[in-house]
Amino acid sequence: MPLQDERPTSTSTAASEDQSSDTELSDRCDSMTSASDYECSRQSFTSDSSKHSSPSTSPPKTITMDEVMASARNLCNLRLAHEIIVDRGFRVEPSQLPEHSLQKKVKDIIHQTFWNRLESDLNDDPPEYEHAIKLLEDIRGVLLSFLNPGANRMRTQIMEVLDVDLIRQQADNDAVDIKGLATYVINTMGKMCAPVRDEEIKKLRESPDDIVSLFKEIFRVLDLMTMDYVNATIQMIRPELQKHSVEYEREKFQNILQTTPSALNHTSAWIKASLEEAMQAMPPAEKTADADKAMKALPSPILVINTAFVRFIMGTHNGPLPETLMTDEARLVEMQRRAQVLQAVAAILLIVYSSTGEAFTGLPALTERLKRMTTVLLEGMHSPSFNLAEALENTSVQICCELNKSLAERGLPGLPPPLQQTLKGQMGSITQDNNPIRALVEGRFQQYFRVILSIPISHTNPPPVPSGLGLIQPELTALGIGYAGFASFNKQVYMPFYMGIIKDLLFGTPPQEGGTGASGAPTQESSSSQSPAKQPVASK
């Protein structure tokens, strides 16, 4: 039960799309990627094949920058599509820079300089309209991007009213009506916007005559409308993505693998460690007629994969994040941390109820209070700055207070001081590796996740929790169902790649030049260790 931060390093990075709507989506993808993610991504997606965990018979493959960028775009699309599928509340929100950050200061200075220049140009005698015309051209492009393909009438009208060449001719003759054009833009925005933006349009219509301030507000509202448009598009494409989600994600990952064969390095290491663990748990070798030979059963592929997922949720996978899990990094880390907090809560409750006897049995309200209080006090235990020993001491003090309060409410004497000291000492010792309560809870957690991952439809009929974990049954069941659902979808998408890795680890299959991969794509001229997903084997 790791009690400090063991968050794996991501192996992903993202690149922005070229189109305007794709750019907004890519911004969301970029926000999920940190600088450290990029460094690890370079190691996974651009390292040469000689660093792969399995022996290679081919020379290192040189990867061009175009191939790296193509992989980054595929990776960004994969992450976005996956988030849209699994997160029904997925929305693109306007990016907000930190209030006192250097980036925000630079951005504000540049914007203010532009608006000051525009105001100066319009106040000249005669006025200079070039910057204002460029703004109108940008506004026209945004308005046109909101139109459906069949909205020809509205498209023609926008092109006629915001005809940049005509506006320039009018400006040359000092006959351009900037205020009138801004009014047309506001009215057009009112026809296109979602009902939630009606109030913003009303404020634009009531804006003062200051044309510079009006343009600033127009662009602010256009940004909001762009977010609405992107999110509406997401809602429309979600059913189609869900319908073809497995094939889509597998194809996108196959595209990444074709350009960067090392894109399964971390996954291979993850599967290799799980295979070794599964083989160690297999029964002893069976003796044959020949005493010099012995046969040992090999674990099934699904057992190996389930072992890999158990290792991850239990925090025993210490390497970088496997590439096949990168689309769920934040979700997985959160579930892993919830599991570790639940283990600590379960250990503390076991200590309390095993030490105090029958005085507190049959009191569900007290149990709920102790669970909530312990969970709150241990929240953030994965942070490097979190003082776990101090938190456990505070938890023990609060629990003793709650127990004494419960006894007083029932007219019973409080806990003896020696018992309180024993409770505090036992709770503080759960951080030790050889602590028996901690070992018991970890073993029961592993047992539970092995079972729930092996059930085909775990969400309709989840298995009972092992003895000793009944006090956290609702929380553990909810976590187990969520994790099993994630693992099931992940296996549907990536099982051909996992099978190829397992086959290569077990049998060292040589490369087959000119063959086809798991998704029908031609294999690279590299060993199966570089592209194990292209040689899947059938599950036994």
Span 17-56, pLDDT tens digits: 334 444 443 444 444 333 333 334 333 333 333 333 333 3
Give the residues of the chain that fall short of pLDDT 50. Answer: 4-60, 287-288, 291-294, 510-540
Q: Is residue 47 part of a domain?
A: yes
Q: What type of residue sits at position 281?
A: A
Q: Is residue 319 part of a domain?
A: no
- Domain identity same for 178 and 84: no
Q: What is the dihedral angle through the alpha carbons of 76, 81, 82, 86, rounded to the nearest 10 degrees?
A: 150
Q: Could you report how far apart the first and last alpha carbons of the chain are, in Å? A: 33
Domain range for 208 is 102-234
- Domain identity same for 115 and 144: yes
- Domain identity same for 53 and 170: no
- Domain identity same for 108 and 165: yes
Residues in the chain: 540
Closest CA to 245 of 486, 78, 15, 75: 78
> Reduced to 3 states, what is the DSSP secondary structure of residue 512?
coil
- The full 3-state SS of 58-124, as one line of letters, equals CCCCCCCHHHHHHHHHHHHHHHHHHHHHHCCCCCCCCCCCCCCCHHHHHHHHHHHHHHHHHHHHHHC
- Domain identity same for 214 and 345: no
At 34 the pLDDT is: 38
- Domain identity same for 205 and 128: yes
Tell the burial category of 428 from Cβ atoms under 10 Å away from its Cβ (0-12, 13-18, 19+): middle
Closest CA to 331 of 120, 224, 485: 485
Number of domains in the chain: 3
At 85 the pLDDT is: 66
Q: Is residue 297 part of a domain?
A: no
Enclosing H/E stretch for 294: strand 294-295
Measured at the alpha carbon of residue 361, what is the angle toward residues 359 and 363, in degrees to the nearest 5? 105
Q: Is residue 309 part of a domain?
A: no
At 410 the pLDDT is: 86
Does the CA dihedral 383-385-390-394 come out positive or negative?
A: negative
At 480 the pLDDT is: 92
Q: Is residue 40 part of a domain?
A: yes
At 343 the pLDDT is: 93
- Domain identity same for 84 and 109: no
At 495 the pLDDT is: 92
Q: Is the entire prediction scored with pTM above 0.75?
A: no
At 82 the pLDDT is: 67
Contact 412, 359 (CB under 8 A): yes
Q: Is residue 138 part of a domain?
A: yes
- Domain identity same for 48 and 163: no
Q: Is residue 269 part of a domain?
A: no
- Domain identity same for 87 and 210: no
Q: Is residue 211 part of a domain?
A: yes
Question: How many Å is the Cα radius of gyration of the chain?
Answer: 30
- Domain identity same for 249 and 383: no
**d(C-alpha 295, C-alpha 412), whole Å:** 64
Q: How far apart, in Å, are the Cα atoms of 287 and each of 278, 279, 280, 290, 299?
A: 20, 17, 17, 8, 18
- Domain identity same for 134 and 230: yes
At 35 the pLDDT is: 38
- Domain identity same for 166 and 61: no
For residue 516, the 8-state DSSP code is: B
**d(C-alpha 350, C-alpha 342), whole Å:** 12
